[in-house]
Amino acid sequence: MIRTILFFNLFFIFTIEVCCQSMEDKKEMSDKKSPTEWKEEISPEQYRIAFEKGTEAAFTGIYNNHKDTGTYNCSVCDNPLFTSNSKFESGCGWPAFFKPVSPESVNEHVDVSHGMSRTEITCNNCNAHLGHVFSDGPQPSGLRYCINSVSLEFQKED
């Protein structure tokens, strides 16, 4: 009898927890904008790169040779992505960083487009395409986050 009561109490608690988590997930999803909603607020070039997974031409981006001290945020939603302390000259033609502000700042996805397998990087907040990460970067991470300048908005440190 006690086992049955204990089982049902645990089942009830688990059910409530799952239900509440599901409600929180739905609220969080409803707070985020869809690509269509973003299209009304950002430039056509930002939209092409962020939500159609485009790429700007190499060596043309405003942040490729940028040297100021500060934080590089997502140009779509202003989520902090990288700091100037992690930026380095890779010669790839796009701004390169060896680590994000935090592991939670970006998401990684397998990208098999264009006949190759790469790791795509997107903003963890708005899911905008940022660029790709490669395993040929400097220490301490050994990674090279190759990011479109159009995907970035620089916030200079005071």
The set of catalytic residues is 146
Contact 146, 132 (CB under 8 A): yes
Burial group, residue 119, by CB count within 10 angstroms (0-12, 13-18, 19+): middle
Distance CA 150, CA 102 (A): 21
Contact 152, 63 (CB under 8 A): yes
